[in-house]
A and B are shown apart, each in its own frame.
Chain A
């Protein structure tokens, strides 16, 4: 069999794209770093898990149902979402996590030569999907840790199709108020699609934080992303959705892969939506964890950015990747921020109090060891 001529077969934009390699499974990591346990503070997952009603659905899932295809377009879930938000079910598209709906939107609107605009220090999947699909991703540096609205507007040209705003932003937790978002949408004036990714929507309690879904009737070029991976604790089942105006969603549906969301994810998400108590409990846990963490970080004299969402960004007096390895050897997994162009910063997911205590204990040891090593050098 002749070996394929990959140089001819592979498009240039794929050749130059470096594949993202996810971290190894926990059992392998524990063996590699020699730790007995592992607290995952790297992916902003909800340590409380899914709401109880969703948990019972998962527990009672009949094995024979695994042999039946799910609803190809998450029919019941879309109707439930429509009922909840007072919209048409056809305005919703459900995907295999929010990552998949990012792909739907970019494929629906971009063609060769087009570009998308987003921030430099934000969730990287908008940029990745654009680039490995052959479209330019224009990255605008953050301003004071937040999305720079004027900067984004200044990068628009006639080939700009989509602007992605992560609100609140991952990893800085900054957010645009409703006034700022409206002002931005007014200036765009329907010329491009504006995607507002609200993956952490349910964590935000600030009064001026916008509920973008309510703006859809005024801004038909607006598309809103939500996910069940964060607040609703269903990250392992992969389910998220987008919502937009009927005309826009009808276009996006053409690039939507049906049957990509499994039946268990659809049923668990369907049940999870109603559980307000779960949201209160999670918010309470995040508040306690943040209060504790902020107090301890002040004592350690570390700079941090405590924005919205279930995470905090911390600047260390050492390389973030070295801190990652040292924390891993103590059973704590955090996210390094060099890849977000924040050298020496880490992002830490807020967990239950006892886990936050374990994190601070491990971090203190790592910093103390570094200080002793530095003193020895002097």
Chain B
């Protein structure tokens, strides 16, 4: 792992939101992106997003306002952070469902933000104070997928006499990724793991860690990866075992290695949403299951597992009254001490428009919605997203709600109205616990 790269805080530019400085902002982002390793096409996509955001801000704030742009490298992606204040920043355009009408002036103004959001791979919005906005745009590098390699020629390993565990980097990691693609179905790992070179860079960036098990002849016989999800939770994958017949002691050692690596960190929980049959169940507790569908439409379920890394000190979560019963039952089943505080609408003024982000897994045919802000149109907005997914034949739809953010539970009535069901709680998955809703089968 190259920690020096991970510690890179990036390059900063602070300028006035003035049309004169538009070329400065765009050339700064373009050249930074190229310097951090994006190809020309990828760098231009990030530059286009920058241009659109800057142009929008020229209209939404005054020229004496300062915008700070920070470009940084995550090895497998380049991230551009925009920090600014704006009096009238309408994030509605970041909804996937937004369409632009050439006849509406307000709608045309938002077209730039729409273009910005569609030009990048990930978009995060954080409201920091009344008018302070933090936009994070991420553009990933392209990598060849495992489909471009012949996986049938990979060596199979038998007669394992003894094994040891070691950190994985470089060529070991590429081989490990190809082995896991040849031994496991696509639902056993996230879509990023279809790109060996990308996984190498993900580990090199320090965001992911990987260990592999090797036998007495130093052949790779298994492995696992893990990464941080926010500031409190670590997610692990697998473990993946490539020997003939599954040897649970290898799996146990791999998981122990992961647990020990994060044992003295501030991780509160370790989750596994991509468990394999070899996952040592004694080290985890089942959170519940989610339903997925194969390409021929057959349903199957995957259980999500959790391990608490520290003694639970208890915490408070926000809930809508309609969700309270589910939470009480689940917290009782999981023996999690929680104070549930109800959020009720008492007539206070709300934002007009809600915003949702959508993360797709096209290979496994599912999408996860996450709220960026709540608004009076929550019901309509969710409905519009569902209509869009229906057109794209997406059958598996999740909605992630952070119970540590009171405004997010305002989506509960709309979710129930559209036949979403709360399925599992991911303790400490966000600011607070996360509830994962799944759209009912009638959709």
Contact = CB atoms under 8 A, between A and B. Distances in A.
B376 interface: no
Nearest to B231: A18
Contacts of A318: 282, 285
A32 interface: yes
A18 B337 contact: no
Contacts of B285: 318-319, 322
A318 B307 CA distance: 10
Given A24-B313, A24-B314, A317 B282 contact: yes
Contacts of A335: 311
Given A317-B282, A343-B260, A336 B335 contact: no
A343 B312 contact: no
Contacts of B309: 321, 338-339
Given A318-B282, A319-B282, A344-B282, A325 B260 contact: no
A322 B308 contact: yes
Interface residues of A, number: 29
Contact of B263 (A23, A326, A343): A343
Contact of B335 (A18, A322, A339): A322
Nearest to A18: B266
B311 A321 contact: yes
Interface in A324-344: 324-326, 328-329, 335-336, 338-341, 343-344
A375 interface: no
Interface in A10-49: 18, 21, 23-24, 28-29, 32-33
A336 B335 CA distance: 16
A329, A338, A340, A377 pick with most chain B CB within 10 angstroms = A338
B121 interface: no
A340 B263 CA distance: 7
A42 B338 CA distance: 22
A18 B265 contact: yes
Contact of A321 (B282, B307, B314): B307
A374 interface: yes
B282 A339 contact: no
B438 to A, nearest CB: 21
Contacts of A124: 264
B311 A324 contact: yes
A333 to B, nearest CB: 9
Interface in B68-87: none
B341 interface: no
Contacts of B265: 18
B277 interface: no
B256 A343 contact: yes
B340 interface: no
Interface in B272-312: 281-286, 307-312
Nearest to B265: A18
B336 interface: yes
Contacts of B369: none
A335 B256 CA distance: 19
Nearest to A17: B266
B263 A341 contact: yes
A363 to B, nearest CB: 14
Given A335-B311, A336-B310, A343-B263, 7 more contacts: A18-B266, A317-B282, A325-B335, A326-B335, A328-B335, A336-B311, A343-B259
Interface of B: 256, 259-260, 263-266, 281-286, 307-314, 335-337, 339
9 contacts: A24-B314, A321-B307, A325-B336, A338-B309, A338-B310, A339-B264, A339-B310, A341-B264, A374-B281
